[in-house]
Amino acid sequence: MKKYEKQKKSFKHIKKITFFLLFGFMLQFTLLFFLDNFVLGKRDITGKMAFKEITNTQSNFKIPDPIDLPNNIYNIQLSHTTHYLSYIQNGEIKVLNTNTNCQKTINIPSNEYISYYTWIPSSERLYISLKKNIKNNTKFTFFVYDAKKDDLNQAKYKVSDNGKNREEDCKIIYNKNSKIKDIKISNLTGMFLLKLENLYSHNSLYTFNRMNALSTLKIKDNNIGNIALMLNTDTILYEKLPSNDIYCVFKNKIVKKLNVNGINHPSLISTDKDGLIYLGTSTNKKISTIFYRTLDESSWKKLNLPYAINKKNIFIINKDKIYINNSSQNTLTEINSNTAIKYKGKLIGIYNDKIAYLYNSKLIINKLK
């Protein structure tokens, strides 16, 4: 009898355990079914998932109507997106929105003059250098103008003095009646490279880093041709005249001559964001062949041009997109694809996938086809 009661109790325990297990499974199944159908929904990727189309804002940029320009202007430039146009008129920099035709005048100090200005790559900002003669020297100061905000700020750097931090204006004091001949800018490294020239055509090179700290490049040469920046490093390149030797100034201040074996009369053209250096074979100030390589490579790749051309008429985007401008025939040709584009008037420049030119006192912007 006792044995039967024990078996009966064991059977009841098994029934309880089985019931709770089945109840748990049913509850779990019901919960999952509810979540799948009413909370999360069907996971039908092709049917119910919303796909966001990613578009290139540059390709959707509206091509503006031709823009009327006054006659008494010079140094016409465009931002790299072509959203903004700039030029100098009566000693002032004018900035115009190419979509709205809204024009602004950059207010600069009355006792200073524009020495140089350029658009900072991949931005809507201008980098401006002003100059002022002081005693036996020329003082250069630097400003950044944000076209979107219509905001001008003087470049400054921080100084620690007796434990206190203060800001001072970025400036270069150079020989009297000197001028800034060229400025190269790398957005990736934040470096600004400046080439100055004095009254006797002697050159000096200066750099500002991202913190606006000024450095003078200690090089032996003072007759300098073209300059360039490696856009992804702090390496500087310059062309020594009249020998046309190309030199590299590295971050550790070591100066080395670039190996240009096999290139007759080398001339520095430019660099690109992929770390390539572009040189040309120069004869009578015209380029007939382009050579390119990285600093790490030892051999140069060669690209023959269809005809010899002035260096200023070569526009290099990268090794696969190199344009040459034939100003006498108003033709812009991409040499890799041998695709030619006709335009009217005077070419202003190439900006991403667009071309800008001046015709009948109008600025015209079109897409590169």
Domain ranges of the chain: 1-51
Q: Is the pLDDT reported for residue 313 higher than 80? A: yes
Please determine, for residue 308, whether its predicted confidence score (pLDDT) is greater than 60.
yes
Distance (Å, rounded) from C-alpha 229 to C-alpha 186? Answer: 7
Residue 315 pLDDT exceeds 90: yes
The per-residue pLDDT for range 116-130, each reduced to its tens digit, is: 999 999 999 999 999
Give the up-direction half-sphere exposure of residue 116: CA atoms within 13 A in the CB hemisphere: 18
Contact residues for 228 (Cβ-Cβ < 8 A; gap 6+): 184, 236, 237, 238, 268, 270, 271, 277
Q: What is the pLDDT of residue 34?
A: 44
pLDDT at position 201, please?
Answer: 87
The per-residue pLDDT for 12 is 54
Give the pLDDT mean for 320-336: 94
Amino acid at site 354: K
More confident residue, 270 or 31: 270
d(CA 111, CA 47) in angstroms, rounded, equals 68
Return the pLDDT at 120. Answer: 95
Give the tens place of pLDDT for each residue, 87-136. Answer: 999 999 999 999 999 999 999 888 899 999 999 999 999 999 999 999 88
With a CB cutoff of 8 Å and minimum separation 6, the contacts of 218 are 253
Helix, strand and coil content of the chain, in percent to the nearest 5, comes to 10, 50, 40
Q: Name residues whose C-beta falls within 8 Å of residue 332's C-beta, 6 or more positions apart in sequence.
A: 323, 324, 325, 326, 340, 341, 343, 347, 350, 355
Residue 25: pLDDT above 70?
no
Percent over 70 (pLDDT), the chain: 83
Judge whether residue 162 has pLDDT over 80. no
How does pLDDT run across 169-194, given as a tens digit for each residue? 899 999 988 999 999 999 889 999 99
CA dihedral 29, 35, 40, 42 (to 10 degrees): 40
Cβ–Cβ under 8 Å, residues 67 and 102: no
Contact 105/115 with Cβ under 8 angstroms? no
Confidence of residue 165 (pLDDT cuts 50, 70, 90): confident
